[in-house]
Structure 1
Amino acid sequence: MKIAIVTDSTAYLPERIKNSPNLFVIPIPVILDGKIYNEGIDIEADEYYSLLNSSKEFPTTSQPALGEVIDLYEKIAAKGYDTIISIHLSAGISGFVNTLFSLTDAVKGITLYPYDSKITSVPMGHMVEVALDLVQEGASLEEIFARLDIIRDNTYAYLIVDDLNNLVRGGRLTNGAALIAGLLKIKPILTFEEGKIVLFEKIRSTKKAFARAEKIIGMRDKEIDRPVKLYVIHANNLAVAEEEKEKLAKQYPDAIIEIGHFGPVIGTHLGEKAIGLCISAQ
């Protein structure tokens, strides 16, 4: 059995795995002022936020064309792979991973396993990294999926955004939550619940929202009976991300803490300056 790992461009991938021969990435399209950009190919995060701020229309995202996905899978098969584990952003954000189940018999000689990460960005990149390492070690499919499930079941992210309008307009958060936030002038903490972005708590100020999220991360650390990693993820907001990393390092001196960023697709929904604090089993 020869296993390939496929993911999509919303995954924030560690440098050490980007050139792995067993890794393949499907770009997710972003449509900005009528022009289609393929994330990670036509546009990178820093450039995107500059275009986003000057755009005339609200940007949208779409699923990759199935023909292009099948073409990639066929190319993978031509390289001698017979098995594909396709790890993708949460079905609560995009229907793409569910669409892949219709392709399980589309490529001759390939057994396809779509996998819903129920998250995105850095935590999903961590899942991809672990899967690649296990493939390299010769692990079985059962061992790989068991490890992915442990990580997925022990990953928690808390999002603090500047403006909920992007999430509402993109259909990723209920209008009611945004309306309440606007009326009360609160700074909400959002989280992922069954892969969907939902309101977690209503906080009165940004400072208190960060303090609360930092505390919740510690509570989750106690719940996860495994080594963990902490992540600070930002949407063109590196200075604040570095401040948060310093604060987390003081509160959790033994923790591994990494900084990553939200790419164009997720940045479209969260908006510029969003910050995510995340804890994940290793």
Structure 2
Amino acid sequence: MDKIALITDSASDLNTNFVIENNIKIVPFKIIFSDKEYIDGIDITPKALYEYLPKEIPKTSLPGVDDFTFALEQVKNEGYTHAIIITISSGLSGAYNSARLASENVPEVKTFVFDSMTLTMSEGAMVIETLNLIKQEKSFDEIVITLPSFRDKIDVFFTIDTLEYLIKGGRVGKVAGTIAGVLNLKPIITVGDDGIYHTVCKIRGIKQCISKLTNILTNYLENHKCKVWVLDGNAPEKSKMLYDSIKDIPNLIECTLGGSIGPALGVHTGPGLVGFIVERLD
């Protein structure tokens, strides 16, 4: 029987205890300040990152070929025969290419690299679903065939206070020019099928943003049973507002508050992000 390892990058924003309990290998991004380099999720927390941001907006460094190779060597030494690597969208990072090249360095482990075409808990949800398939003892080939279907079932929507961080990080996608600060206009952003950011609409004020996000989710729940993660980018009060607005909508099977945006992504979105991940279950 296939012994399948699961590897992802730290942009998946998975809960640390969940990762440890299920022996998921996390290949971290790096957060680079002018005087120090941090390893995402290891020696810098989201709270610390947001405290640093007013002083300096750091750069991020994607996981390299050597980093993914090290993870594959680890799972080989643990007796795994196969590995599935799920990465952040190739439209937002070069991590997918690093993982693909690394897979050639450890031929003893049959590896499939999957481009999630998304990020944060959208990517994390795909890891969770893949783990469930492994636990069900599905074969490597069965899982590889199933993976692309996850992209059609999982979406992300969020709003941010300012585009400053996306612009400085070069991650603005097709969102440029959508905020008018004087008018307090904020974009509702999603990740498109092309794996980059797109503006859904522009809304004035946070209460209206929460209402619009609720309406977007309601459209999903009218036709599908869904699982939802509420995203919190150093905006706990806003996240609680969204949670309270959606938690009792019919067909919402599970709603998790506290999907913290990790440091690697927080660098590019800045403080004040609120939104949700939605996974259709039927």
TM-score between the two structures when normalised by the length of structure 1: 0.90
| Cα deviation, residue 25, structure 1 | 0.8
TM-score between the two structures when normalised by the length of structure 2: 0.90
Which residue is equivalent to 2:46? Answer: 45
Matches within 5 A, 1:1-282: 1-14=2-15, 17-20=18-21, 22-53=23-54, 55=55, 57-174=56-173, 177-178=176-177, 181-182=180-181, 185-194=184-193, 195-222=195-222, 224=224, 227-252=225-250, 254-259=252-257, 260-282=259-281
- Unmatched 5+ stretches in structure 2: none
SS at match of 2:20: coil
After superposition, the C-alpha distances for 1:143-188 in whole angstroms (9 at most, x for unaligned) are: 3234433332121211110111111111111587236534764111
Preserved contact between residue 90 and residue 97 of structure 1 (Cα < 8 Å):
yes
| Cα deviation, residue 113, structure 1 | 1.0
Structure 1: distance between partners of 2:64 and 2:219 = 41
SS at match of 1:17: helix
Structure 1: distance between partners of 2:189 and 2:152 = 18
Q: Give the length in aligned residue pairs.
A: 278
Preserved contact between residue 84 and residue 113 of structure 2 (Cα < 8 Å):
yes
- More deviation, 141-150/125-134: 141-150
Structure 2: distance between partners of 1:202 and 1:21 = 40
| Cα deviation, residue 2, structure 1 | 1.2
After superposition, the C-alpha distances for 1:80-119 in whole angstroms (9 at most, x for unaligned) are: 1121100111112211113322233211311121111122
- Unmatched 5+ stretches in structure 1: none
Preserved contact between residue 235 and residue 274 of structure 1 (Cα < 8 Å):
yes
Preserved contact between residue 181 and residue 188 of structure 1 (Cα < 8 Å):
no
Structure 2: distance between partners of 1:44 and 1:115 = 27
Preserved contact between residue 226 and residue 252 of structure 2 (Cα < 8 Å):
no
RMSD value over aligned CA atoms? Answer: 2.2
Amino acid at match of 1:218: T
| Cα deviation, residue 208, structure 1 | 1.5
| Cα deviation, residue 66, structure 1 | 2.0
